[in-house]
Structure 1
Amino acid sequence: MRCNVWGSRGVGGKCPVPAGGIVTIEMHAQPGDRSCNNEAIGGAHYGPVMVYLSKVSNAATADGSSPWFKVFEDGWTSAGSVGDNDQWGVKDLNKCCGKMDVPIPASLAPGDYLLRAEVIALHTAGSSGGAQMYMTCYQITVSGSGTWQPSSAEQVSFPGAYRPADPGILFNIHAAVGNYVVPGPKVASVGTTKKAGSGCSSGCASTCKPGSGTKGSVIPATPAAGGGAAGGGAGACAQRQYEQCGGGSWTGCTTCQEGTTCRDVSNGFYSQCV
């Protein structure tokens, strides 16, 4: 819940960020897929996008156990007859090829921080335990002369910031939505709330191309049993655990890798490998 699998294992580098500057996060559901021809978070995984910061002594070795405060969110705006047709942070992320510009508060005190970007997918959130959290962390060093620090009321811990019955966690996105409460604390007083449906900003989210920035380090995961087959015709594909394998108008691969089974988890709307 803090920084995803192996999230306590940092890398050697840190990204320098001036207070008042912009960090462009980039998130995609499938490893290695940065193509703008594919939705970054596909399969109708709609929900909010949130960004937290945590002040640490050394971002390269921090494990995320320190308190977090929210500096950005892109949640929900009414637009359709049911929640699936409304505007969501994930839809903005998809419009921008998986990228979103996040302002770093100009008054933020300098030093090392972990930046935690998160998507909460609500397609199966109508039953307890159905919401899906996807998160990643960035190691940054903020420069500047600011003095602002979060109050205790603005800080949370992971795990612990969310509860299964929170209104933004236990939520039926397939019904009409009158209101949506983004999970976690309110955005800090110096943070930014983006209106869902407002699209890409004029910064890197609109102009940067994959591969044009500094290449980061990747900690390889241990392959699951059976591995992952390359895409192809019937019998050649194999979706990994938790990937979509059916439901609704799904036309992609319907086969799951060895050890997992394709199951309906949302009354015909969505099936995934579990």
Structure 2
Amino acid sequence: MYGPIRAAAAASLIASVSGHAIWQDLWIGDVDAGTSCARVPSSNSPVTDVTGSAIACNTGTAKASGICPVEAGSQVTVEMHQQMNDRSCENEAIGGQHYGPVIIYLAKVDDAASAEGTDAAWFKVDSAGLVSNSPDYFANQVLNDNCGHWTFTVPADIAPGDYLLRAETIALHSASGAGGAQFYMTCYQLTVTGGGSASPDTVSFPGAYDASDPGILVDIHQTLSTYVVPGPTPYGTAEWPVATTAYPTTATWDIASAPTSVPTAVPSV
């Protein structure tokens, strides 16, 4: 049962290091785009200051070489692993009992190749926090079950054009103290085709989160019945409900066919 996690100081340090991770690859439907449109961070270390510019798209990032085309209403998958270009399913995507939510944002921009995440107007399109409270099981544990893959649907009615995609998970193992939450995010460059004219309510990074938000300053080393995912309500979908039965750990992603190489060119889709 997931309950109190009390580790010795040395074990906690090992867990902290092993838990570092990077969102890196992108799938357009079932087509592997690899890192072709990802602004990959320079390291797998977390961001901890919600007021700094790094909370938008991480640190040490460069604009991606490509922009990935996606259709409004289609499915997109983001992929996380602990080390860059390591797509092995033998390792957890984010280890060290770094449990927490998975959150996906989009921001419409004039040019995805040059837009700055700190200037963008972001709207949440998917989020999951505590997916079961019997026992407690978090969204990024589901991510681990699926070899680091997280799939969401691009809203069908958003306007066509360039977008930034922001994939995030928050590790809450040290979040019972101020500044203890660890934020892992990567921004991707997209062009959305089709769609409509919807203009969802937006937030800014920094600005969307406060260090004292209940989903950021929280002790997960106790049995929780609920958890408040940081940020606004998702647009066009609901947050995952909290199940009162054990969450199934069976993978829904085809792990047996997971690639080992990393494409760097935008695919034709």
Q: 2:98 aligns with which of 38, 45, 65?
A: 45
Distance (Å, rounded) in 2 between the aligned partners of 1:31 and 1:22: 24
Once the two structures are TM-superposed, the CA of residue 10 in structure 1 deviates from its matched residue by 1.0
Which residue of 2 is the match for residue 110 of structure 1?
A: 160
| Deviations, residues 142-173 of structure 1 (Å, cap 9, x unaligned) | 0004111113xxx1111111111110000000
Q: 1:184 to 1:198 in 2, by over 3 A?
A: farther
Q: Which amino acid aligns with 1:147?
A: S
| Ranges in structure 1 where 5+ consecutive residues have no aligned partner | 218-274
Which residue of 2 is the match for residue 241 of structure 1?
A: none
Q: 1:109 to 1:200 in 2, by over 3 A?
A: farther
Report which stretch shifted further, 32-41 or 43-52: 32-41
| Deviations, residues 39-86 of structure 1 (Å, cap 9, x unaligned) | 110000000000000100110111111110100012113434xxxx51
**TM-score normalized by structure 2?**
0.71
Q: Which amino acid aligns with 1:142?
A: V
1:185 matched to 2:185: no
Which structure ranks higher in relative contact order (CA pairs < 8 Å, sequence separation ≥ 6)? 2
Distance (Å, rounded) in 2 between the aligned partners of 1:117 and 1:200: 23
Distance (Å, rounded) in 2 between the aligned partners of 1:77 and 1:162: 21
Are the counterparts in 2 of residues 122 and 132 from structure 1 also a CA contact under 8 Å? yes
Are the counterparts in 2 of residues 200 and 206 from structure 1 also a CA contact under 8 Å? no
Are the counterparts in 2 of residues 126 and 170 from structure 1 also a CA contact under 8 Å? yes
Once the two structures are TM-superposed, the CA of residue 96 in structure 1 deviates from its matched residue by 0.5
Once the two structures are TM-superposed, the CA of residue 193 in structure 1 deviates from its matched residue by 3.0
Which residue of 1 is the match for residue 56 of structure 2?
A: 2
Q: 1:201 to 1:216 in 2, by over 3 A?
A: farther
1:67 matched to 2:121: yes
SS in 2 for 1:129: coil
Are the counterparts in 1 of residues 79 and 148 from structure 2 also a CA contact under 8 Å? yes
Are the counterparts in 1 of residues 145 and 251 from structure 2 also a CA contact under 8 Å? no
1:56 matched to 2:106: no
Which residue of 2 is the match for residue 159 of structure 1?
A: 206
Q: 2:87 aligns with which of 27, 34, 45?
A: 34
Q: 1:76 to 1:192 in 2, by over 3 A?
A: same
Q: Which amino acid aligns with 1:114?
A: L
Once the two structures are TM-superposed, the CA of residue 215 in structure 1 deviates from its matched residue by 2.6
Q: 1:124 to 1:172 in 2, by over 3 A?
A: same
Once the two structures are TM-superposed, the CA of residue 140 in structure 1 deviates from its matched residue by 0.5
Q: 1:161 to 1:199 in 2, by over 3 A?
A: farther
Matches within 5 A, 1:139-218: 139-151=189-201, 155-188=202-235, 190-191=236-237, 193-195=239-241, 197=247, 209-211=258-260, 214-215=263-264
Are the counterparts in 1 of residues 133 and 224 from structure 2 also a CA contact under 8 Å? no
Are the counterparts in 2 of residues 100 and 205 from structure 1 also a CA contact under 8 Å? no
SS in 2 for 1:115: strand
Q: Which amino acid aligns with 1:172?
A: D
Once the two structures are TM-superposed, the CA of residue 31 in structure 1 deviates from its matched residue by 2.4
SS in 2 for 1:90: helix
Which residue of 2 is the match for residue 12 of structure 1?
A: 65
